[in-house]
Structure 1
Amino acid sequence: MKFKLIIASTPDDMTDAIADAAREEGATGCTILTNARGQGLKKAKTFLGLDLAGARDVVLILVEQHLGRRILEAIGRAGHFDASPGAGIAIMIDVEDAIGLNSQLHTIQTEIEDEI
């Protein structure tokens, strides 16, 4: 079985919407890294050296390759990535190998059975 890793950077108030959207499209879970920082085209404003930009999270979602594009598009819609500058980004990369998925493999295989 081949996997993709979706990595999304998003404002922390959108993290739950992104995780929910991924789950609705077949993701079996995600890992959320909190308090990330990022910079876009324009540097964030500061006040006395304190960053005024809101907190960001990084969401890591390991998915079976056939579900990858569908999940990527769903989280893009849920996070309004293309509609609002600074709303976040998501990328998807190939995963060469993964371990620790035994408890999820049956669910993954059942859900993608019709798509393969």
Structure 2
Amino acid sequence: MRFKLIIAFVEEDKSDQLVDAARAAGATGVTLINHARGEGLKPKKTFFGLHLEVQRDVLLFVVEEHLARNILECIAKVGEFDSSPGTGIALQLDIEDVVGVAHQIESLSERVGEEL
């Protein structure tokens, strides 16, 4: 079984919605990193030297490769990444090796078999 890593950088108030959407699409878990900072096309504004920016979360999903694209699209839709600039981004990367997911492989095998 092969896996992909989906990384999403999102506004912290949307994290729970994105995790729920990813789980509904087949993700079996998530690692969430709080309070990340980022900058898009336009730098954030400052007020008396203080940065006025929304805190971001980084969501990391290790997902089965056949489910990855659908999960990525669900995350993008719920996060409104393409319709609202500055709401976040998500990307997927190939994973060469992974350990610690043996307990999930049986469940994933059944679901992926149904998807194919």
Question: Same fold by TM (over 0.5)?
Answer: yes
**2:27, 2:17 → 1: CA distance?**
13
**1:98, 1:44 → 2: CA distance?**
37
Q: Which residue of 2 aligns with 1:9?
A: 9
**2:99, 2:33 → 1: CA distance?**
20
Q: Which residue of 2 aligns with 1:77?
A: 77
Q: Which residue of 2 aligns with 1:102?
A: 102
CA RMSD of aligned residues (A): 0.9
**2:113, 2:51 → 1: CA distance?**
47
TM-score, normalised relative to structure 1? 0.96
Secondary structure at the aligned position of 1:6 is classed as strand
Secondary structure at the aligned position of 2:114 is classed as coil
Say whether residues 1:55 and 2:55 are aligned partners: yes
**2:74, 2:86 → 1: CA distance?**
18
**2:50, 2:102 → 1: CA distance?**
44
TM-score, normalised relative to structure 2? 0.96
Q: Which residue of 2 aligns with 1:113?
A: 113
Shifted more, 103-112 versus 64-73: the winner is: 103-112
User: How many Å apart are 1:3 and its aligned residue?
Assistant: 0.4
**4+ runs deviating over 4 angstroms:** none
Q: Which runs of 5 or more structure 1 residues have no equivalent in the other structure?
A: none
Say whether residues 1:37 and 2:41 are aligned partners: no
User: How many Å apart are 1:103 and its aligned residue?
Assistant: 1.6
Aligned length: 116
Shifted more, 85-94 versus 45-54: the winner is: 45-54
Q: Which residue of 2 aligns with 1:91?
A: 91
**2:31, 2:49 → 1: CA distance?**
30
Q: Which runs of 5 or more structure 2 residues have no equivalent in the other structure?
A: none
User: How many Å apart are 1:47 and its aligned residue?
Assistant: 2.1
% of aligned pairs identical? Answer: 50
